[in-house]
Amino acid sequence: MSAFEPQIVSSDLDDIIAAVRQLQQDGGKLPSERDLAEHLNVKRHQLRKALELLRQSGDLKPARARRAPTALPRYGEELVRVTNPIEVLELRLLMEPGLARLASLRASSFETARIIDAATTPENASSGAVDFAFHSAIVAAARNHLAAEFYKMLRQVGVDARVKIARTAAPTCPKRIAERDGEHRLIAEAISKRDPEAAEAAMRAHLLSVQRRITERSNAGAFAA
């Protein structure tokens, strides 16, 4: 503000406009609205009116956007809008058997123990959370960071797409959870035996069984993975 001579103008719009014009001629670039209002000793709303009139007459450039538009599109919402749980599972079927194969070749003994542990749902545990922990442990053991991030996003989109269709709680049917755990244990066993063929096949069989359940139901929101 030191570039400007302090001055006091009346609140009359014409005076404000004249003062702003004078400042433009003297200094070119105008200070921020707040500084300008302070400098001219006028109320912000009066200044705003004057600036608006100056813009309308073309004497002032349009106000700059407060923030530059964000460079990254919001993939999450967009993905949920265009997809559904059946597509999510289709993609899981393409990815996860291969990741189970990699896990059987790359898992540390610690990771293998974690996979075996997550294959059995403890009593009163959320079956959805246990399922996610099991599959995530396998993806982590595949040691591909990009795949791990992609998988996280895929599952999140799966949950959101499911919620979009029907808000349902995680599956609680003990029979289905026992079946599911059985399928998980076959995968875990193959990984701990370092058998890539068996790990891949067991994962495919598990996801196909999930897929059957989804397509059997007209309500795509209620299924156990």
Q: Which residues bind Zn ion (CB under 5 A)?
A: 131, 225
**Minimum distance from residue 73 beta carbon to Zn ion (Å):** 31
| 202 in Cβ contact with 188 (< 8 Å) | no
Q: Which residue has the tokens 């996280």?
A: 152
**Minimum distance from residue 131 beta carbon to Zn ion (Å):** 4
| 37 in Cβ contact with 47 (< 8 Å) | yes
**Minimum distance from residue 143 beta carbon to Zn ion (Å):** 20
**Minimum distance from residue 180 beta carbon to Zn ion (Å):** 6
**Minimum distance from residue 132 beta carbon to Zn ion (Å):** 8
In the complex with Zn ion, which residue's Cβ is closer, 131 or 160?
A: 131
| 39 in Cβ contact with 4 (< 8 Å) | yes
In the complex with Zn ion, which residue's Cβ is closer, 54 or 225?
A: 225
Residue whose C-beta lies closest to Zn ion: 131
Sign of the alpha-carbon dihedral angle for 220, 124, 126, 175:
negative
**Minimum distance from residue 219 beta carbon to Zn ion (Å):** 19
Q: Is 150 exposed, middle or buried (0-12, 13-18, 19+ CB in 10 A)?
A: middle
d(CA 189, CA 198): 9
Which residues, 6+ apart, have CB-to-CB distance to 29 below 8 Å? none
In the complex with Zn ion, which residue's Cβ is closer, 76 or 182?
A: 182
In the complex with Zn ion, which residue's Cβ is closer, 131 or 200?
A: 131
In the complex with Zn ion, which residue's Cβ is closer, 84 or 136?
A: 136
d(CA 174, CA 176): 6
Task: Please enumerate, as own/partner, the contacts of 18-24 that have beta carbons within 8 Å and a separation of 24 or more.
Answer: 20/50, 20/51, 20/54, 20/60, 21/54, 21/59, 24/59, 24/60
In the complex with Zn ion, which residue's Cβ is closer, 37 or 116?
A: 116
